[in-house]
A and B are shown apart, each in its own frame.
Chain A
Amino acid sequence: MTTTPSGVETAARPTTAAARATDLSKVYGQGETQVIALDAVSVEFRQAEFTAIMGPSGSGKSTLMHCMAGLDTVSSGSTRIGDVELTALKDKKLTQLRRDKIGFIFQAFNLLPTLNAIENITLPMDIAGRKADQAWLDRVVETVGLSGRLKHRPNQLSGGQQQRVAVARALAGKPDIIFADEPTGNLDSRSGAEVLGFLRNSVRELGQTVVMVTHDPVAASYADRVVFLADGRIVDELHDPTAEAVLDRMKRFDAKGRTS
C-alpha cells in the first residue's frame, strides 16, 4: 500500500503545516506482549483544514492523536506543533504548549461540573492567568449558540449543549490546532450534526485547524480530508469525502482485514 504524500494537490489551500509527525512509532509492552500501536507514521495536518482520522478499533487512531497532541509520549520518531518539537519537551513545557497552542474536545467528561458554561469556556485562559479576548469570545459563543446559557452549570445543559461548550472552550484560546477525540460519540445524531457543523464552520469561517478522531463515516464526511489508519499505519486518504465514500473505504479495510 502507498501513503499519499501530503501537500500534493493543495494548490488552493495554504500549505503550512499546523502539526506534523515524522516516522512516529508507539510501542506498548516488551517482548512477547509487545504491541505496536503506531508503526513509523508520517502525517501532516495543514492549517485551516478539517482533518478526520478514521480506522477500526485498535488501528491506532486515538494513539496517533494523543501523541501528536502531547498527551502521550512516543517511542521513536518526531512530532511537531508548528515549529515546536514535542518529543524534546519536558512535562511542564508540554503542559504550557497544550494550554496555549492546542484545543481539546473529548468524547465525554469535557467540563468541570463546578464551573458554569462561560467559566468552563475560559478555563484554559484562567489557568494561564490570561485575559480572554472579549470580542473573540463573544463571537465564539455566538457561533456555537450558547449566548443564553452562559451561567448554566453543565448538569443544567443537554449533552449537545455540553459538547458545544467544549467546542467553544477549544476555540476561545485561538489555538494553533484543535484535537477532537470522538466528539460526537455520546451524542444523538442531531446534536452530533450541530457540533460537527460548528467544527466545520470554525475551520471555514474562523480559519481554525481541526483534527478529529472518529469511527463514524457521517462525522468524517464533515471533514476536508480523511486519513485512514489500520494496524498502526496510514493506509489511505480521501479529500472532500462524502459519508458513502468513507463507508465504502471502511468496508474495504474490513474485508481486507478478514481475508488477509
Chain B
Amino acid sequence: MLRTALRNVLAHKARLLMTTLAVLLGVAFVSGTLVFTNTISDAYQKSSEKGFAGVDVAITPDRDSDDDTGNPGEAPRLGQRVLDRAAQVPGAASVTGSVSGYTALSEKDGDLLGDGFSNLGGNYYPDKSGKDPRYTMTDGRAPKAAGEVALDARSAERGHYTVGDTIRVSVDGPVRKQKVVGVFRTDDGNVAAGGSLALFDTPTAQRLFAKPGQFDEIDVKAAAGTSQTALKSAIDKVLPKEAQAETGQKLADDQAEQIKESMSGMQTGMLVFAGIALFVGIFIIANTFTMLVAQRTRELALMRAVGATRRQVTRSVLIEATVVGAIAAVTGLAAGVGIGAGLRSLLNATGATVPDGPLVVDTNTVLVSLAVGIVVTVFAAWLPGRRAAKIPPVAAMNSVHAPPSTRGLVVRNTIGAILAAGGAALVLAGASMGMDGKGFMGMGAAVLVIGVFVLTPLLSRPLIAAAAPLLRAFGMPGKLARQNAVRNPRRTAATASALMVGLTLITGMTVIAGSVQKGIDKMATDALKSDFVVSMGGFDGQRPLSPDVARTIAELPEVTASSPLRTSASRIDGDTEYLTGVNGKSITDLVGLDFETGSFSGLSGNKAVVDDEMAKDNGWKVGSTIPLTYEDGRRGTLTVQGVYDGNEMISGIMLDAAALTPHMSTVADTQVMVKTKGGASDETKDVLEKALGDNPAIQVQTKKDISEGIAQAFTLMLNMLYGLLAMAVIVAVLGVINTLAMSVFERSQEIGMLRAIGLDRRGIKRMVRLESLVISLFGGVLGLGLGVFFGWAAGEMIANGMPTYELVLPWGRMAIFLALAAFVGVLAALWPARRAAKLNMLAAIKAE
C-alpha cells in the first residue's frame, strides 16, 4: 500500500504541485509568523536586558492604590532627599536620578523629527567620573547648562544635525532653541526601536519635565559583593512611603514578560490570518484529491477487486496526502524562515528599527509548522479518501466515463439550506443584541459561510447563467466556457468558495471600517463648533499642552472665542473621576452638545455640567450638589446646571477652568479649541501656527484635518488587513489554476476535437480564460454579498454602542474587489490556457 501511494505521488507530480504550493504557503505563513515574532521578541528582550544592565535597584514613586485619603492627583515624584538617602545605603556604589518626558525635536524645515510614536527627552546624570554610564558620547560632549542638548545618533543623522547646530525643541508647548553639544549612543529600548531621545543637563530636564529637584526614577548600582536583593532590602528601610524599590532583575523580567505578551498578541493576530489561508487551502487540497480519486476510479476498483479492503484504499489515499503534506510542510517551513528574516529587514528598511539579534527558529516553530502542514492535508484528503473506498470492485470492469452527477446534490442542498438559514438567523439575532451578541454573530457567521459553501454547487447554475448575456459577446468560446464552468458543480463550487472566503473577509472589513470611520468622524466633528483644535502631536494626542498656548491664542486678534480642555483628577464618592475645565464664557461657541436639561451658558464658579450616563448612575439632576475632593486634596462641592448627551469623545464633568486651575499642581491642557473671524482657512491656520512659534510638537487642526487624520488611521489599518488577507487570495488563485489545469487535462480530447473542427488557438485560450473568469467572478460575487451582509450585521451590533454609526457601502472599493476577482481569474488562466492551446490535437483525439 505504501509503495502504491508513493508511486501515485510521483506519477501525479504536476497535478499535486498546486496542492503542495497551497499547503506550502499556509505553512510558510505560520512558520514565518512564529520565526518573526520570536526573533523580534528575543531581540527586544536582549535589548531591554542591556538597558537594565546598569540598574541593580530602581526606585520609583508609589501610590498606595487603596489609599483614599491622599490627594487624587498624580503621585509625588522623588525628591533629592530620597536620592541622597539611597546613595548612603551600605552596598550602594553609585546612584543615578533620571527624569524624562515628551520632547519633540524639529527637523531643519520645521517638521517633527522621527515618526511621532516615541519622542522622548531625558537628563544626563554624570557619576563620580563625570560620565553617565547609560549614554556613550560619540561626538561632542554631554549637556552641562540650560540651552544645551545632546541627540541620539540616529536622530542626529536623520535630521542632519551635527555638534554646533541649533535645534528647535518643544516639551509642552513653547519652542526652545537649543544648541546641539553632543551626539550619543545608547541601549535604551525606545531608541533601539526607532524613537528619538534628547538629553538635557539634570536641572534643565527637571525644570522641563517635573518640578525642580525631583526625579521620575532613581537607579542604584550595587557595590561589588552586594546582591540586588540585599541592596533592595537595605534601600527599602530608608524609603519614604511614597516610593518603592525593585531589583533590576525583576524589572528586566517584567519588561521581558510585557514584551512577550505584546508579541504574543501580534502573533495570535497573524496566525489567525495564516489560519484563514490554510482554511482556503483545504478547499484546494480536497478538490485535488477528489479529482485524483475520480481519475483513478478504475485502478482503485481493480485494487478492491484483487482483494484490498475499503480501509486499505482509504489509507492509500491518506498516505499519499501525508507524503504531500510532509513535503509541503518542510519546504513551507524553510520558506517561513526566509519570510521571517525578510520581514525583519523589511521593518528595518521602513525605518521602524528593530534591535539586532539572531534569527530564532525554536523547536516549537518546527513542530507546529510540520504538524499544521500534515494535519491540514490529511484532513482535507479524508473525504476523498472515504469516497475512494466506496468505489465498487465492479467499476474496474466498466468503461467509466461517468457523467457529472447532480444526484447527490439534493442531500447537500438540504443541509446547505439549513446551515445557511441557521447561520443567518444567528447573525441577525446577534445583530439585534448589541455588543452582547458577539458570540452569536461569530458563530452564525461561521455557520453561514459553511452553509453557503455547501450551497455553492446549487448557486453556481443560476448565478453563472446570469453571466450568459455577457459571455454571448465572446461567441462560441464564451458559450463553451459557461457550460464548462457548471459542468462539475462541486469542483467549481470548491474553487469559487476558496476565493469567496478571502473576499468575504476583505469586503466585510472594508464595510465595517468605513462605517466605523464615518461614525468616529461624526462623533469627533459633529459636536465641534470651533474652527481649529490645537493639541500636541504624536499618536495619542493626549500629551499635556502648556497653559501658555491657550493664553497666547486667546490674545490673538483673529480669535473670537477659545477654550482649553484642562483635565484634573478628583475623587467623588471614593472613585476617581476626571474633571474637565473649560472656558465657561466661550464654550457654547465652541462645542455643540445636546442638553437633556439645563445648558452650558453661564458656566462659572462651582457650577458644572455632567453627561447623561453619569447623571443617571449617580442620580444627579439639575440643581444636585456633588461633594468632591480636588487633586490637591481640598474638598468642595459642584452644583449640576445641565445634563448633556455624552459620547466616546466628550463625557464626564465639565466646569469653568478658572475654578479648577487653582487646584492643579501642574497646569496642562489636552487641547485648545479656537474659533476665529475668518473661519477655518489656511491663512488663519498659518497665523495660529506662527503665533505658537511654528512649533513642531503642536498640531493645529481644522475639522477637515481631524477627519483626514481619522481616515488615515483607518486606511493604514485596512491596508495592513488587506496585506494579511492577500495570502488567502493567493492561495485561492492557486486553486483556480489547479482547477483549470485539471479541466484542461480532463478535456484534452474535447479540446483536440474543437481544434480539429476549426476553433483556433485564440479561441481555445479564450474559452479557458472565460471559464476561469466566470468561476472567479462567481466566487467574487458570493464573497461581496456575504461580506456586505456581515458588515451590515456587525454594524448593527456596533451601532448599539455608537449612536453616530452609519452604514457606509464602499461602492468604489467593491467594484475594485470585483475587478480584482476578475483579474485573479484571468491571471490564473494564463498557464492552463496556454497549455490548452498548445495541446497536440492528434494525441488528444487518439488518446482514450
Taking Cβ atoms with an 8 Å cutoff, the residues of A that contact B are: 66, 69, 71-72, 91-92, 95-96, 98-100, 103-104, 106, 108-110, 112-115, 123-124, 126-129, 155, 169, 181
Residues of B contacting A99 with CB < 8 Å? 757-759
Give residues 724-771 of B contacting A (CB, 8 Å): 749-750, 753-763
B475 touches A127 (CB 8 A): yes
Residues of A contacting B749 with CB < 8 Å? 109
Smallest beta-carbon distance A71→chain B, Å: 6
- Given the known inter-chain contacts A72-B842, A106-B753, please indicate yes or no for A124 contacting B848, CB distance below 8 A: no
A109 touches B753 (CB 8 A): yes
Residues of B contacting A113 with CB < 8 Å? 403, 487, 750
Contact of A124 among B757, B762, B845 (CB under 8 A): B757
Contact of A126 among B476, B483, B750 (CB under 8 A): B476
**Bound CA span A114–B404, Å:** 11
Residues of A contacting B842 with CB < 8 Å? 66, 71-72
B475 touches A91 (CB 8 A): no
A-B contact pairs, 20 of them (CB 8 A): A69-B756, A71-B841, A95-B755, A95-B759, A95-B760, A99-B757, A99-B759, A106-B845, A109-B750, A109-B753, A112-B750, A113-B487, A113-B750, A114-B484, A126-B475, A126-B476, A126-B479, A127-B476, A127-B754, A127-B757
B848's nearest neighbour on chain A, judged by CB, is: A108
Residues of A contacting B755 with CB < 8 Å? 95
Give residues 796-848 of B contacting A (CB, 8 Å): 841-842, 845, 848
**Bound CA span A227–B842, Å:** 22
Minimum-distance CB pairs A-B, first 8: A99-B758, A114-B483, A95-B760, A109-B749, A127-B476, A126-B476, A98-B758, A124-B757
- Given the known inter-chain contacts A109-B750, A127-B475, A155-B403, please indicate yes or no for A92 contacting B760, CB distance below 8 A: yes
Residues of B contacting A112 with CB < 8 Å? 480, 750, 753-754
Residues of B contacting A109 with CB < 8 Å? 749-750, 753, 845, 848
A100's nearest neighbour on chain B, judged by CB, is: B758
A91 touches B483 (CB 8 A): no
B750's nearest neighbour on chain A, judged by CB, is: A112
Smallest beta-carbon distance A21→chain B, Å: 17
Contact of B758 among A72, A114, A128, A181 (CB under 8 A): A128
Residues of A contacting B480 with CB < 8 Å? 112, 114
A99's nearest neighbour on chain B, judged by CB, is: B758
Residues of B contacting A114 with CB < 8 Å? 480, 483-484, 487
15 more CB-based (< 8 A) A-B contacts, given A104-B756, A126-B475: A92-B762, A95-B755, A96-B760, A99-B759, A104-B757, A106-B756, A113-B750, A114-B487, A123-B476, A126-B476, A127-B475, A127-B476, A127-B758, A155-B403, A181-B845
Residues of B contacting A129 with CB < 8 Å? 475-476
Count chain B residues whose beta carbon lies closer than 8 angstroms to a beta carbon of A.
Answer: 25
Smallest beta-carbon distance A251→chain B, Å: 27
Against A, the Cβ 8 Å flags (1 = close, 0 = not) of B478-512 are 01100110010000000000000000000000000
**Bound CA span A107–B753, Å:** 11
Residues of B contacting A110 with CB < 8 Å? 753
Smallest beta-carbon distance B298→chain A, Å: 17
Smallest beta-carbon distance B484→chain A, Å: 7
B845 touches A98 (CB 8 A): no
Smallest beta-carbon distance A57→chain B, Å: 13
B477's nearest neighbour on chain A, judged by CB, is: A127
Give residues 221-248 of B contacting A (CB, 8 Å): none
Smallest beta-carbon distance B504→chain A, Å: 30
**Bound CA span A95–B750, Å:** 16
A93's nearest neighbour on chain B, judged by CB, is: B760
Smallest beta-carbon distance B835→chain A, Å: 16
Residues of B contacting A123 with CB < 8 Å? 476, 757
Residues of A contacting B848 with CB < 8 Å? 108-109
B755's nearest neighbour on chain A, judged by CB, is: A95
A95 touches B487 (CB 8 A): no
Residues of B contacting A126 with CB < 8 Å? 475-476, 479
Give residues 780-808 of B contacting A (CB, 8 Å): none
Residues of A contacting B476 with CB < 8 Å? 123, 126-127, 129
Residues of A contacting B759 with CB < 8 Å? 95, 99, 127
Residues of A contacting B403 with CB < 8 Å? 113, 155
Residues of B contacting A127 with CB < 8 Å? 475-476, 754, 757-759, 763
**Bound CA span A192–B756, Å:** 23
A96 touches B758 (CB 8 A): yes
**Bound CA span A104–B753, Å:** 9
Against A, the Cβ 8 Å flags (1 = close, 0 = not) of B450-462 are 0000000000000
B483 touches A95 (CB 8 A): no
**Bound CA span A127–B760, Å:** 9
**Bound CA span A103–B762, Å:** 21
**Bound CA span A106–B848, Å:** 12
Contact of B761 among A66, A69, A91, A108 (CB under 8 A): A91
Most buried by B among A92, A100, A110, A114: A114
**Bound CA span A108–B401, Å:** 13
